[in-house]
A and B are shown apart, each in its own frame.
Chain A
Amino acid sequence: NAGVTQTPKFQVLKTGQSMTLQCAQDMNHEYMSWYRQDPGMGLRLIHYSVGAGITDQGEVPNGYNVSRSTTEDFPLRLLSAAPSQTSVYFCASSYSPVLSSYEQYFGPGTRLTVT
């Protein structure tokens, strides 16, 4: 199993550009989520999905869109990048937030810089 994979690892964008951060998992997990980590901060939840076709907002959703057309993939879209979105982005998955121990598996992260 590859676990949770994220692409790209690094990305530089100019203000106003759009892009999609990719996330995939091969563990057949129902639950997937996106977090961002800023210097001196913990991870903050952006969006999450409890299954294909179902998404919801987390703590800091503004400026981001998500979709979940398959169990495996959960892309994060930046609609119009802003310098405040400079951060490290982590995708995570788990079997089920209700049934499991709630252990989430994290990808290696995407480091995004917006100039």
Chain B
Amino acid sequence: DQQVKQNSPSLSVQEGRISILNCDYTNSMFDYFLWYKKYPAEGPTFLISISSIKDKNEDGRFTVFLNKSAKHLSLHIVPSQPGDSAVYFCAASARSGGGADGLTFGKGTHLIIQP
């Protein structure tokens, strides 16, 4: 049973427009959420995170929104740039329970920025 779901395997967006990547979760114990970006043949790199006590976190062109009642989060990238083309993973953690049991990842969304 997948606890973190990214239902769009791929997303194509024109350069300069907004990219919106979605993520849903089922485990109500999750209280910390992260987005990772991954280029081919490299390890994932941390992008942005949000605690369940917040509903929005912003870092430059990247904003993550959290809707706890819907168990849904989204990553907004604006404006989208060619270097944003990568696979984006949503991940979640039950940090209040100690958090030592790692991150639960979604399957990823391949974002393609078209010129």
Chain A residues near B (Cβ < 8 Å):
4, 31, 33, 35, 40-45, 48, 50, 56, 58-59, 90, 92, 97-98, 101-109
Closest to A47 in B: B102
B: residues with CB less than 8 A from A are 4, 6, 9, 32, 34, 36, 41-46, 49, 89, 91, 93, 95, 98-108
A-B contact pairs, 20 of them (CB 8 A): A4-B43, A35-B102, A40-B107, A41-B107, A42-B6, A43-B44, A43-B103, A48-B100, A56-B100, A59-B102, A92-B43, A97-B95, A97-B100, A98-B98, A98-B100, A103-B49, A106-B44, A107-B43, A108-B41, A109-B43
Of A4, A42, A58, A103, which contacts B89 at CB under 8 A? A42
Assuming the contacts A98-B99, A102-B34, asked whether A108 and B108 have C-beta atoms less than 8 A apart, the reply is no
Q: Which residues of A contact B102 (CB under 8 A)?
A: 33, 35, 45, 48, 58-59
Point out the residue from A41, A59, A101, A106 that lies within 8 Å of B45, measured CB to CB.
A106
Which of B6, B43, B46, B108 lies at the interface centre, i.e. has the most chain A CB atoms within 10 A of its CB? B43
Residues of A within 8 A of B108 (CB): 42
* B-chain residues with CB within 8 Å of residue A43 when the two chains form the complex: 44, 89, 91, 103, 105
Closest-CB distance, A10 to chain B (whole angstroms): 10
How far does the alpha carbon of A56 sit from the alpha carbon of B99 in the complex, in Å? 13
Q: B89: nearest residue on chain A (CB-CB)? A: A42
Measured in the bound complex, the distance between the Cα atoms of B98 and A54 in whole Å is 15
